[in-house]
């Protein structure tokens, strides 16, 4: 195979750039510290692991039911905007981490989503008001963390997420905090 030198250098530069980027992201996630703009959402963990689908957790979020903020309606295929705001905090890695809960909802979602100055955020979800889906309800993990999630009774789990500018949530980690 006779590639021109500039093509080879371009491909090597791209591979190096994206490898470095992935390494930095992985290092930040493994450090476990809360990044600016991240917050926690309470969840109940359901552990459906099996040999065929791999290791993952189903994460039914406490913010999935917004029926108290919206009239009863079915899933009409339109997104719902959910207003999330700080409801408290928990101690995580020696620092206080904000916990968010539902402050309100709008269906169909307005475009663009409102921007709040008080630190609260609007995020997009789909489904019916009693069971909204945010796209962060499943968390895959590797074998190194299998023991961490094996016994989850008596613990509280939090989903560490970041609200992206387009209104979607990005799942960064699942955090287990021992209850007293």
pLDDT at 43 over 60: yes
Angstrom distance (rounded) from CA 88 to CA 101: 9
The band of 129, judged by pLDDT with boundaries at 50, 70 and 90, is: confident
Out of 25-34, 77-86, 96-105, least confident range: 25-34
Determine the longest span between alpha carbons in the chain, in angstroms. 65
Give me the residue spans of the domains in the chain. 1-31, 34-178
Distances (CA, A) of 168 to 25, 67, 122, 129, 162: 19, 20, 9, 17, 9
**Sign of the alpha-carbon torsion through 109, 110, 112, 118:** negative
Q: Among all chains, which residue has been given the structure tokens 């991240």?
A: 38
What is the chain's length? 180
Indicate if the alpha-carbon torsion angle 83, 38, 99, 160 is positive or negative.
Answer: positive
CA 114 vs CA 57, 109, 120, 129, 135: distances in Å: 32, 10, 10, 20, 20
For residue 54, give the DSSP letter: B
Give, for 89, the enclosing helix (H) or strand (E): strand 80-92
Question: What element of type H or E holds 178?
Answer: strand 169-178
Tokens of 113: 């989503």
Residue-wise pLDDT for 60-84, tens only, equals 888 888 878 876 665 577 788 899 9
Higher pLDDT, 89 or 37: 89
- Binned at pLDDT 50, 70 and 90, residue 16 comes out as very high
The confidence band for 13, taking pLDDT boundaries of 50, 70 and 90, is very high
* Higher-scoring residue by pLDDT: 150, 93: 93
- Give this prediction's pTM: 0.71
Which is nearest to 156 in space by CA: 41, 36, 47, 32?
41
């Amino acid at each position: 195979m006779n590639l021109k030198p500039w093509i080879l250098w371009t491909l090597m530069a791209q591979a190096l750039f994206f490898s470095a980027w992935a390494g930095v992201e992985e290092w930040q996630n493994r450090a476990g510290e809360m990044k600016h703009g991240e917050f926690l959402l309470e969840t109940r963990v359901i552990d459906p692991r099996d040999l065929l689908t791999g290791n993952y957790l189903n994460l039914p979020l406490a913010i999935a039911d917004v029926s108290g903020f919206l009239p009863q309606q079915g899933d009409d295929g339109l997104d719902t905007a959910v207003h999330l705001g700080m409801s408290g905090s928990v101690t995580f890695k020696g620092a206080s981490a904000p916990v968010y809960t539902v402050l309100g909802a709008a269906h169909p979602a307005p475009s663009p989503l409102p921007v709040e100055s008080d630190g609260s955020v609007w995020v997009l979800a789909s489904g019916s008001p009693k069971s909204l889906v945010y796209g962060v309800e499943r968390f895959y993990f590797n074998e190194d963390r299998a023991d961490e999630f094996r016994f989850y009774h008596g613990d509280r789990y939090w989903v560490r997420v970041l609200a992206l500018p387009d209104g979607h949530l990005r799942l960064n980690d699942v955090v287990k905090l021992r209850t007293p």
